[in-house]
Chain A
Amino acid sequence: MRRLGLLVLGLVAGATTALAAQQSIAARLSGRASPEIVTLVQDLGSSAASRGLPVDPLIQKAIEGNAKGVPSERVATAVRLVYAQLDTAAAALRSAGLNSPPDTVQVAAGGFAITAGLGGRDIAELARTGRPAAAVTVGLRVAGTLAALGVPPTEAVTLVSASLRAGQAPGDLLALPGRVQSEMARGATPAQAAAGLARAAAAQARHGPPPHPGPPPHPPAPPHP
Chain B
Amino acid sequence: MTKSEFDPQVKQLLDGELTLADLPAELRQEGEEALRLLAAVDREPLSLPAVTWRVMATLERRRQRRLTWLLAPALAAAAALVLWFGRPANPPAAASSAMVTVRFVLVAPGAHQVSVAGTFNRWDPSATPLVRSGSADVWVATLSLPPGQHQYAFVVDGVRWVPDPTAPAIDDGFGRRNSVLTL
Contacts and interface: CB of A to CB of B under 8 A. Distances in A.
Interface of A: 32, 60-61, 63-68, 70, 74-75, 77-78, 81-82, 109, 112, 115-117, 134, 141-142, 144-146, 148-150, 169-172, 174-175, 177-178, 181, 184-185, 187, 189-190
Contacts of B91: 169-171
**Which of B88, B123, B149, B169 has the most chain A CB atoms closer than 10 A to its own CB?**
B149
Interface in B67-84: none
B30 to A, nearest CB: 14
Given A67-B125, A169-B90, A187-B36, A174 B173 contact: no
Interface string B41-55: 000000000001101
Contacts of B52: 175, 178
Contacts of B124: 67
B91 to A, nearest CB: 5
B174 A115 contact: no
A174 B125 contact: no
B173 A81 contact: yes
Given A175-B52, A185-B36, 7 more contacts: A63-B122, A75-B174, A144-B170, A148-B168, A171-B91, A178-B53, A185-B40
A77 B173 contact: yes
**Which of B19, B122, B166, B174 has the most chain A CB atoms closer than 10 A to its own CB?**
B174
**B contact residues, range:** 35 or more
B87 A171 contact: yes
A141 B148 contact: yes
B96 A134 contact: yes
Contacts of B149: 109, 112, 141, 144-145
**Which of A149, A174, A175 has the most chain B CB atoms closer than 10 A to its own CB?**
A174
A146 B87 CA distance: 19
6 contacts: A61-B173, A74-B174, A148-B168, A170-B91, A177-B168, A189-B32
Contacts of B36: 184-185, 187
